[in-house]
Amino acid sequence: ENRQTEVVEEEVVEEVEKEDERLNEKEDKTESSDGELQIDEDRDVRDESDEENKESPFQRLQQSDVKSWTVEVLASHLNKYKWTETVAIFQEHEIDGESLFLVTRPQLVCIGV
Pairwise CA distance, residues 16 & 69, whole Å: 17
Domain count, the chain: 1
Choose between 20 and 71: higher pLDDT. Answer: 71
Instruction: For residue 56, tell me if it sits in a domain.
Output: no
Pairwise CA distance, residues 6 & 1, whole Å: 9
The pLDDT value recorded for residue 1 is 59
pLDDT digits over 37-87, tens only?
A: 444 444 444 344 444 456 789 888 899 999 999 999 999 999 999 999 999
Q: What percent of the chain has pLDDT over 90?
A: 42
Instruction: For residue 97, tell me if it sits in a domain.
Output: yes
Instruction: For residue 99, tell me if it sits in a domain.
Output: yes
How do the residues of the chain divide into helix, strand and coil, expressed in percent and rounded to 5?
65, 5, 30
Instruction: For residue 18, tell me if it sits in a domain.
Output: yes
Instruction: For residue 98, tell me if it sits in a domain.
Output: yes
CB 39 within 8 A of CB 29: yes
